[in-house]
Chains A and B, each alone.
Chain A
Amino acid sequence: MKEDIYIQCKEVSIGYRERSTSSTVVKKDISLHALSGEMVALIGGNGIGKSTLLKTIAGFMPPLSGELLVRNRPVSDFSVAELALEMSFVSTEIVRVANLTVREMVGLGRFPYTNWFGKLNDRDQMIIDRAIFQTGLSGYENRPINRISDGERQRAMIARALAQDTRIMVLDEPTAFLDISNKYEIVRILHQLVSEQGKCIIFSTHDLNTSLTMADRIWLMLEDRVVEGIPEEMASAGYFESLFPKNQHLRFDQERDDFRIKRENHGVVNLSATGQELIWAKKALERLGFKVNPSLAVSQSLSPSVSPSLRRPSHPSRPSLSVYPSLRHSVPPSSFFLEIIQQPKGWNIIYSGISQNVATLEDLCRTIKKITTQPVS
Chain B
Amino acid sequence: MRLFRNSTVGFILLMVVLALLFMLDLLSGSVHISLYQSISTLFHPSTSDPQIAAILFQFRIPKAITAILAGAALSVAGLQMQTIFRNPVAGPDILGISSGASLGVALFVLSAGWIFGGIPLFSVAGSWSIVMAAWLGAGCMMFLVVMLASRLRDLMTVLILGILISGAVMAVVSVLQYFSNESTLKSFIVWTMGSLGSTTRDQLWVLVPSVAVGLLVALFSAKFLDAFLLGESYAKSMGMNLRLAYLLTFASTSILAGSITAFCGPIGFVGIIVPHLARKLFSSPLHIKLIPATMLMGAIVMVIGDLISQLPGYSTTLPINSVTSLLGVPVVVWIIFQHKKIGAI
Contacts and interface: CB of A to CB of B under 8 A. Distances in A.
Interface of A: 55, 58-60, 80-85, 87-89, 91, 93, 95-100, 104-105, 108-109, 111-112, 114, 116-118, 146, 164
Most chain A beta-carbon contacts within 10 A, residue among B220, B239, B286: B239
Nearest to B83: A97
B233 interface: yes
Nearest to A172: B233
Given A96-B344, A99-B283, A118-B288, A80 B241 contact: yes
Contacts, number: 88
Given A80-B241, A99-B279, A108-B238, A117 B223 contact: yes
Interface centre among B234, B242, B341 (most CB of A within 10 A): B234
17 contacts: A60-B236, A80-B239, A80-B241, A80-B242, A84-B239, A89-B233, A89-B237, A93-B234, A95-B229, A98-B344, A99-B285, A109-B238, A111-B227, A112-B239, A116-B220, A116-B223, A118-B288
Nearest to B283: A99
Interface string B213-251: 000000010110011011101101111111000000000
Complex A-B, nearest 6 residue pairs according to Cβ-Cβ distance, in ascending order: A84-B239, A89-B237, A118-B223, A111-B238, A81-B239, A96-B344
B236 A108 contact: no
Nearest to A84: B239
Given A108-B227, A111-B227, A97 B240 contact: no
Contact of A93 (B231, B286, B341): B231
A110 B107 CA distance: 46
B286 A104 contact: yes
Which of B220, B222, B223, B230 is packed against the most chain A CB atoms within 10 Å? B230
Nearest to B284: A99
A84 B237 contact: yes
A105 B242 CA distance: 19
B123 to A, nearest CB: 38
Contact of A80 (B220, B223, B236, B279): B236
B345 interface: yes
Contacts of A104: 284-286
Given A55-B233, A104-B284, A108-B230, 11 more contacts: A81-B241, A85-B239, A87-B237, A88-B238, A89-B237, A91-B233, A91-B234, A95-B234, A96-B343, A104-B286, A112-B239
Among B279, B285, B288, the one with the most A-chain Cβ atoms within 10 Å of its Cβ is B285
Nearest to B238: A111
A98 B233 contact: no
A111 B223 contact: yes
A59 B242 CA distance: 13
Interface size on B, as a range, is 20 to 34
A111 B238 CA distance: 6
Nearest to A146: B344
B241 A89 contact: no
Given A83-B239, A117-B288, A100 B341 contact: no
Contacts of B238: 84, 88, 108-109, 111-112, 164
Contacts of A84: 237-239
Contacts of A109: 238
A117 to B, nearest CB: 6
A58 B234 CA distance: 11
Contacts of B220: 116-117
A89 B345 contact: no
Contacts of B237: 58-60, 84, 87-89
Contacts of B242: 80
Contact of B240 (A96, A105, A111): A111
Contacts of B279: 98-99
Given A80-B242, A81-B241, A111-B239, A93 B343 contact: no
Contact of B226 (A55, A58, A59, A118): A118
A96 B234 CA distance: 13
A53 to B, nearest CB: 15
Contacts of B343: 96
Contacts of B240: 80, 111
Contacts of A99: 279, 283-285
B233 A97 contact: no
Nearest to A78: B239
Given A97-B230, A98-B345, A118 B222 contact: yes
B236 A97 contact: no
B345 A97 contact: yes
Contacts of A85: 239
